[in-house]
Amino acid sequence: MGDKRWARVMIAAAVAGGMACLMAGPTKAQSLTDRFKSLFGGKSDEPAAATPGAAAEQDTGDLTCPPVTVRAGASTYAVAPPGKQPVGNDLRFQASITKMARECTVNGGVITARIGIQGRVIAGPAGAPSSVQVPIRVAVVQGGVNEKTIATKAYQTTVNMTEGGSEPFTLVAEDLTYPAPPGAVGDTYIFYIGFDPQALKPERPAPRKKQ
């Protein structure tokens, strides 16, 4: 793909991302499935509805379900061949987040969040592999002068690339849990999402204790 064509593709992706941010604002009393239908146009890659038994949980509504936003500096994920920098002709592919949705349920004082993320992977001039691993981290943070991470978890999804060089992806993080905050404290909570390349590295085993 030539530099001019790559530039046109990236400009189009940026415009689409900007429009998605305008569309992705929280809508009160909507389920996550409804939000995905409206945000993602009801495409076949929308997440499934809630699993049986979820009706016993109480929907906390938007007052206690934090807003979701992309963490600064983690909105794109660019990869180059080993030893190269992901710029210019050395860029293999770049992933970006375009749309988001969330819902929360509370049960026994514990909130379970479902965070829906949609994005796109675009092949670069250096050529993308046939399969791309996309690493994403989701965190719930108490905002303020000194931010405090309440819970965080890493996720991965695989994107199969085609000759078109531009493929969408959808990921639903369904198991992020954290204690329900007291009173108005929940109003300061924020869901942060972003790409986290460290999530692709295997976790180191815990050191053995000396006996």
Contact 93, 161 (CB under 8 A): yes
Quick check: is 50 in a domain?
no
Quick check: is 24 in a domain?
yes
Q: d(Cα 167, Cα 154) in Å, to the nearest integer?
A: 22
Quick check: is 211 in a domain?
no
Quick check: is 210 in a domain?
no
97, 156, 77, 94: CA torsion to nearest 10:
-80
Instruction: Give me the number of domains the chain comprises.
Output: 1
Q: Out of 36-40, 90-94, 96-100, 116-120, pick the least confident.
A: 36-40
Give the global pTM: 0.68
Q: d(Cα 101, Cα 35) in Å, to the nearest integer?
A: 6
pLDDT at 63: 47
Reported as a single tens digit per residue, the pLDDT across 58-79 is 344 444 789 999 999 999 999 9
Reported as a single tens digit per residue, the pLDDT across 22-57 is 333 343 345 555 555 554 444 434 433 333 333 333
Quick check: is 51 in a domain?
no
Domain of 111, in residue numbers: 3-44+56-199
Give the E-state strand segments of the chain in sequence order: 58-59, 68-70, 76-79, 93-107, 110-123, 131-142, 148-160, 166-179, 189-195
Q: Out of 59-68, 113-122, 129-138, pick the least confident.
A: 59-68
Residue at token pair 């934090």:
66
Quick check: is 49 in a domain?
no
pLDDT at 44: 38
Quick check: is 149 in a domain?
yes
Angle at which helix 32-40 crosses helix 3-23, to 10 degrees, equals 140
Quick check: is 9 in a domain?
yes
pLDDT at 34: 59
The overall average pLDDT reported for the chain is 76
